[in-house]
């Protein structure tokens, strides 16, 4: 399993979601909103969790987009 700390990534994702006028997390809309960026990443306590087969290039794009 590949992992990243939740901060600053999750904080920036949430900020962007709110900036677009959306509210609520864990809803189908939130999951669909995340998928438009190519991510559907579960949060495990203090870590964002990526499957082992998640491409390294996609992980770098995630880091660049949300850091």
Half-sphere exposure at residue 41, Cβ-oriented, CA atoms within 13 angstroms: 30
* Residue 17 confidence (pLDDT): 92
Question: Which residues is 3 bridged to in the sheet?
Answer: 49
17-57 tens-digit pLDDT:
999 998 887 788 888 888 887 777 778 888 998 888 989 99
Query: What is the domain partition of the chain in residue ranges?
Result: 2-66
pTM of the predicted structure, to 2 decimals: 0.77
**Residue 16 dihedral angles phi and psi, to the nearest 5°:** -65, -40
Structure confidence at residue 4 (pLDDT): 92
């Amino acid at each position: 399993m590949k992992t990243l700390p939740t901060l600053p990534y999750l904080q920036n994702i949430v900020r962007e979601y709110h900036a677009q006028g959306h509210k609520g997390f864990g809803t189908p809309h939130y999951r669909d909103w995340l998928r438009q960026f190519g991510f559907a990443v579960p949060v495990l306590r203090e870590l964002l969790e990526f499957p082992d087969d998640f491409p390294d290039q996609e992980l770098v794009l995630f880091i660049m987009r949300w850091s």
